[in-house]
A and B are shown apart, each in its own frame.
Chain A
């Protein structure tokens, strides 16, 4: 009797571990359009209404707990914002003069804004689910292909860029946030000509890294970082230019590296928003359509496209 119990217990354990390893191996071995990923999208499609309902039903409880956390940070944040506000007011006065000049110049050279934000249509979406670990910085939103959302569409909030769409079903989409370990965005520091790739500091959601910045480039704390939105050549950026990403907090000069590591604090707090905007294109360009068919890339499978 005892032997039978022990055998059964061990058989269950070995079966479940074996099944998990089998799933893991099969998932890594298959292409982006493989059956396991199709099953995942199917489950997402089924669970999306449940998640949406649960998200709405549990909003009061979420807000209550969020209120405690927010209150603790409110005073500190208020003081920082007052200081920032005073600085921005001074800058805004100076910018008004420049804006007038820029508007005149734009009309003179008929600047083509087709590839800027004007080419996108913003779709507001509600966050219906969120990953609990720091390794998978992903959220599910309640807008999908029925609403014109495509894979690789940029996702923003009022504060700045937060991620991109990496999987789409009819009524829901998966957004991979800028803090996810698979994320990367081409970015620049305005007015300096310095550009690089913004990557996450895995394990620290309040920190991003601007990588591939030459040691000779002069960057200092307080400078803003925006999307580069390069449009030249075959590998165009997924993000339109000049969307705010964050502000430089620290610059590490590494003696053994050709590049310096620039630390950025993202403007958008990726753990606190409830609504996002998906920037959809009325008609995706052919290069993006080709990419959409290849689907998202996860750990160990880097995407072959310019972020």
Chain B
């Protein structure tokens, strides 16, 4: 059990570090539709969806802290929002057990929107200049659209990385239940 937790920790730490480096050194420097993609909410929501609320919130905190440290941003702000995103995605998995292939797209869009709106509200409350509302809304919507395109590959990548350590995978479990027939309600009687 302890070995699994250590492996989890190592993989999630590496994932957070590599994501922050790739985001700041490459992805943020490529403009698509006038905005840049933001991988961090997608990674945090993927970990939450796959590994649950505790792993999701810890990943959110670590990723937020790392990006705030690396870019000399207001410390604690990104962590606070990402903790909420990771926890929310994890609770969705624990309560609803979603298995639809498009769930990462919907949750990725929600995570991106929550991060962008949350950051805007928090910074405004902390005394930042008032934004140009329509332009900011446009930026947020375009970032959500770009992130929606990336949600599936990012989720698949995170699943591939964490799969050996996951207790079970909702999609795999359901597929097996159907093909063997042993657990299907139709086969009863």
Contacts and interface: CB of A to CB of B under 8 A. Distances in A.
A161 to B, nearest CB: 19
A24 B76 contact: yes
A299 B127 contact: yes
Given A13-B53, A40-B75, A203-B133, A133 B119 contact: yes
Contact of A130 (B24, B40, B120): B24
A207 B38 contact: no
Interface residues of A, number: 68
Given A129-B70, A167-B72, A62 B128 contact: no
Nearest to A204: B135
B2 to A, nearest CB: 16
A36 B126 CA distance: 18
B69 A127 contact: no
A129 B69 contact: no
A132 B38 contact: yes
Contacts of A203: 120, 131-133, 135-139
Contacts of B36: 130, 132, 271
Contacts of A111: none
B14 interface: no
B128 to A, nearest CB: 4
A44 B126 contact: no
Nearest to A274: B29
B184 interface: no
Interface string A195-217: 00001111110110000000000
B123 A20 contact: no
Contacts of B29: 55, 62, 66, 127, 130, 271, 274
Contacts of B120: 135, 203
A22 interface: yes
- Chain B interface mostly: helix
Contacts of A37: 72
A36 B75 contact: yes
Contacts of A274: 29
A21 B76 contact: yes
A84 B21 CA distance: 39
B127 A134 contact: no
A8 interface: yes
B88 to A, nearest CB: 10
Interface in B1-59: 21-32, 34, 36-38, 40, 53-54, 57-58
- Kindly list the 4 A-B residue pairs having the minimum CB-CB distance in the complex, ordered from nearest: A203-B136, A300-B127, A23-B76, A204-B135
24 contacts: A12-B54, A12-B58, A16-B60, A19-B79, A24-B77, A40-B69, A47-B70, A54-B25, A54-B26, A55-B26, A62-B26, A69-B30, A69-B31, A127-B29, A132-B27, A135-B128, A181-B129, A201-B132, A202-B131, A203-B120, A203-B133, A204-B132, A271-B29, A299-B128
